[in-house]
Structures are given as C-alpha cells and as structure tokens.
Amino acid sequence: MKLYNPTPTPGTSAVSFAGLIEKIEILRSTLRWSSRLERPEIEKLLKQATTLRDEVMGLSHKERFVAAASAAGEPEAVVEPVEISARERRQALMERSFIFEGTFGDNPKLLEALEIAEKAAPTDLPVLIDGESGTGKELMAKVIHANGARTDKPFISVNCGAIPESLLESELFGHKKGAFTGAASDRRGKFESAHTGTIFLDEIGELPLPGQVKLLRVLEPHEIQRVGSDEVIAVDTRIVAATNKDLRRMSQEGTFREDLFYRLSVIHVTLPALRERRDEIPLLVSYFGDEAAGQLKRRPVTLTPRLRDFLLHYEYPGNIRELRNLMYRLSCLAGDTADFAHLPQDIRPKPTGLTAVGAAGGKASVTDLGTATSLSEAKRAASDEAERAFLERGLQEVGGTVAELARRFDMNRSHVQMLLKKHGIHSKDFRGNRQAGGK
Ligand SMILES: Nc1ncnc2c1ncn2[C@@H]1O[C@H](COP(=O)(O)OP(=O)(O)OP(=O)(O)O)[C@@H](O)[C@H]1O
Ligand SMILES: [Mg+2]
C-alpha cells in the first residue's frame, strides 16, 4: 500500500495541483484501511486530510483567479465537446473513489445524475432529488451523504408524507415537556438528531403548506425552536429532499411554496424512470436474480425465454423497486425455472390462443385453447405455439446462435431467421444463456 508522506519534497516551493490530488488519493486509500489502524494514527491522518483539503481549496481558488484574469479580454476559446462513452464515465467515477452504495447502471441519464451527485456531495448545498416512485431517490440521497464530509455523521430520514400535520412541528423540531397534551418529556426532533449530519426530507411534496412555512424558517438561519420552548438551538444540518411530484408545477399552481422550492433545489437531480433506461434491465435482472438467490440461499433462478422476454419489455411503473421485488418473487416461488405462472396475477400476460409450456426444456403441452373458435383455428394456434416453443428451447440450448440452431436441426438458416421474425423472438435474448443438457 502506498502511504502518504507529508514531508515536503526538498526544492519544491509550490505544490502542483496534480501533486496534491495524488496525495489526497493516497490518503483516501490509506483511510480505507482505517479499521486496522489505531485511533491516534487515524486522528493524525484526518488532520493531514484537512490540511490537504485547505491547500487544494486555496490552490483551486488561486488557479481559478489566474485563469479568470488571463481570460479577461481574450476571445473566448472554442472548446470542442469531447464525447466519452458511458463505460468510461462510470470508470472515471470509480477511479475518483466515488462511493455508489449499490447503484447500478451505465445509462447516460443515470450517469449524469451520479456526476451531479458527485459534485454536490462535498458541499453543504441543499439537493432536491426527483423521479418516479422506485427510481432510487433514497439510494441517491445516501450516495450524496456517503461521498461528503458528513459521511460518518447521522443520516436521518423523515417521511414528510407520513407525519400527521398536528405532529409535524414536534417531529421535526422537538418539543418541551408539557408543550401539549401527551408531551410527557422533553424530546428532540429530527433536525437536532441530524445535527452535523444530513437530514433526508422524503416525499417533500406531501408536506402541507403550514409545514412548508415552518421548514422555510429553519433553512436560512439554521436555527430551530422546540415546540413550547423559547430557546433557540443552532443546527448544522445538510438538507437533501426527495419527491415524485413536479414541485415546480406545484409551486406555479400554489400548492408548494415557490421560495421553499428554490431553497431546496439549489442542486436539482432528476432520476430517470426505468423505462427510459431499458438498456439496463438485463443487468438489473441478473443482479437482483443473484442477490435474491444469495438471500434465499438457493441457486439463481432460470427464466424461460418468454418470461425473460416479458421482463425485458415490461413497462415497470414501479421502476427499480418493482423489478427487484419481481426477481425476489420469482426466485422464491419458482423451483429451478420461473415462467409466467410465477408472475403476479395483475401483470401476467393474458394467454393468446394456446399456451405451450416447456420452453425451458420440458415437453410442450397444450394447456389452454384460449380464444380459438373453430377446430382449424385451434390446430393452427397449437402448431404456432409448438413452433415457438421449439425455437425458444433450441435457442436456449445453443446459447442464442442462429447458425448453430439451423445446423443442429438441419434447417436452412434464413428459414430459421424468418420463423424467429414471425414469432418476434430475438436470438440475442438467449445469448450467454446456454442451458446445460442441450443436445
Ligand atoms: N440504480 C440502482 N441500482 C440498484 N438498485 C437500485 C437502483 N436504484 C434503486 N435501486 C433499488 O430500488 C429500490 C427502490 O429505491 P429507493 O427506495 O431509493 O427508491 P425511491 O425513489 O426512494 O422510491 P419511492 O419514491 O417509492 O420512495 C431499493 O431497493 C434500491 O436499493
Ligand atoms: Mg423513497
């Protein structure tokens, strides 16, 4: 392990920006081992970290000043935008030791949100995170907390939608004994509990207007008063708020105070819905499949091709939470192989014509005559289903290689491709999915 040596190199009067960054990186990696260090060593390292941080801040101010001065009067340089790939952006975040807290994905919109979070984390600026339910707002709030200077201080979460209006003030700011019926003793509120740390105001859009006024009062002077008390208590709390509502629109409509919206949203991060980042669904399916298997202490569940296809194309109104829950449900309810039958009833696809089961290796069995109204229609539907099941099982066995499938069943490759097209089967959905026991 490379250790940070704080002794200045002889002959270097001015420390370079890059040099400082390197020292910080070395310090950070040393601190990762802090559980194995003694307390005095940790304290020494923390002091060194603070000194370094001050140096960097000083240097960066100076550099910015010099840059601004030299740029004044000069024509603005034309900077060509540099396109970097999603993978490189994520890699860069990791190299900068950004802590993700289990946040997955390479989607550009998600990366943009993470990059904003990375820049916001070390500051004390309020952050507003919005996005549909289940898009990872709470996770993102934790990422911000974990990457800031308050990381080892409290992270207090308050669900603003779950507190009755009459108790709101006492919940947030605490109360003095006897302040109201039932106030049997002094109690500190969430803001005091979050002192020196972060308070996460979840579902801030649900906060009633009187509560908004009270919150507004604490934001600027960073002072609170417990209910029933005259004493003013200073609180140093970083505020991260989240909502699945459009607060800007609410403030235009008069249901959310505009001044509060602007105070909370100094940094505004919007998390994309899962349907806007479909490219990540395969990754999340396999990640949560493995996670569920680990928790349930069983082998990861195999998905029949049609279930996999369904999961890849489903809309996920409940976003990542819904996908995660689905994978846990499938892992719990299915044996080795999960199929439509293991999906919740309300999202299970309706049988179209006939349903042939057994795409994952079992023999096709006609279980439902569905909507067929004549014998010939029923026969055609049965034949279609058998064809589809045959193709899916074949692709499963050859790991999605159309050429191999054609060879194996002595069929013409373009004929196989035509059949796949007819059934809307994508061979790539079966890649890396080769099933043991194939012929
Ligand atoms: N990018 C991601 N990678 C992995 N897991 C994620 C990601 N985003 C969210 N999750 C997981 O999805 C679930 C829901 O996330 P979270 O509770 O943060 O959502 P939320 O936006 O706060 O939802 P709600 O609005 O319903 O409160 C959690 O289990 C979380 O760990
Ligand atoms: Mg939440």
Annotate 27-42 with DSSP letters as a single string.
HHHHHHTGGGS-HHHH
Q: Could you report the per-residue pLDDT of 293-321, keeping only the tens digit for each?
A: 999 999 999 999 999 999 999 999 999 99
Ligand 1 atom nearest 104 alpha carbon: 3
- Nearest atom in ligand 1 to 110's CA: 1
CA distance between the termini of the chain:
51
Residue 354 CA to residue 385 CA, distance in Å, equals: 7
Cβ 151 vs Cβ 168: under 8 Å: no
Whole-number Å distance, alpha carbon 136 to ligand 1 midpoint, is 3
pLDDT at 342: 94
Check residue 88 and give its pLDDT.
78
What pLDDT was estimated at residue 19? 61
- Residue bearing the CA closest to ligand 1, atom 15: 136
pLDDT above 50 (res 353): no
Distance CA 210, CA 198 (A): 23
366, pLDDT greater than 50: no
Residue 185, phi then psi, degrees to nearest 5: -150, 170
| pLDDT at residue 205, rounded to an integer | 96
Q: Per residue in 292-318, is it b (16+ CB within 10 Å) or e — as a string?
A: bbeeeeeebbbbbbbbbbbbeebebeb
SS3 303: strand
Q: What pLDDT, on the 0 to 100 scale, is given for residue 58?
A: 58
Instruction: Give the pLDDT band of residue 338 (cuts 50, 70, 90).
Output: very high
Tell how far the Cα of 56 is from the centroid of ligand 2, in angstroms.
35
Mean pLDDT of the chain: 79
Q: CB-hemisphere CA count at 13 Å for 153?
A: 17
Task: Write the pLDDT tens digit of every residue in 259-291.
Answer: 999 999 999 999 999 999 888 898 889 889 999
DSSP per residue over 369-399, as a string?
-TT--SHHHHHHHHHHHHHHHHHHHHHHHHT
Which tens digits make up the pLDDT trace of 129-154?
999 999 999 999 999 999 999 999 99
> How many other β-carbons are positioned within 10 Å of the β-carbon of residue 124?
15
User: Which of 98, 106, 114, 138 best tests ligand 1's pocket when mutated (most atoms within 8 Å of CB)?
Assistant: 138
Which numbered atom of ligand 1 lies nearest the CA of 140?
Answer: 18
Cβ atoms of 262 and 299 closer than 8 Å: no
Confidence of residue 24 (pLDDT cuts 50, 70, 90): low
Residue type, 133: S
Q: What is the pLDDT of residue 383?
A: 80
Residue 272: count other Cβ atoms within 10 Å of its Cβ: 20
Tokens of 309: 């296809």
Is pLDDT above 90 for 21?
no
* Res. 172: pLDDT tops 50: yes
Q: Is the per-residue pLDDT at 360 higher than 50? A: no
Closest CA to 207 of 154, 245, 180, 236: 245
Give, for ligand 1, the residue of 128, 275, 320 to mutate: max count of ligand atoms closer than 8 Å to Cβ.
320
Q: pLDDT tens, 402-429?
A: 999 999 888 888 888 888 887 778 888 7
pLDDT of residue 397: 85
Conformation bin of residue 106: beta by default, left when phi > 0, alpha when psi is -120 to 50: alpha
| 200 strand-pairing partners | 157, 240
Residue 261, pLDDT score? 94
The bound ligand whose nearest atom lies closest to the alpha carbon of 271 is 1
Q: Rounded to two decimals, what is the model's pTM?
A: 0.65
User: Which tens digits make up the pLDDT trace of 218-232?
Assistant: 887 788 888 888 888
DSSP string, 249-301: HHHHHTSS-HHHHHHHTSEEEEPPPGGGGGGGHHHHHHHHHHHHHHHHTSPPP
Indicate the burial class of 288 (C-beta count within 10 angstroms; 0-12, 13-18, 19 or more). Answer: buried
What 8-state DSSP symbol labels residue 156? Answer: E
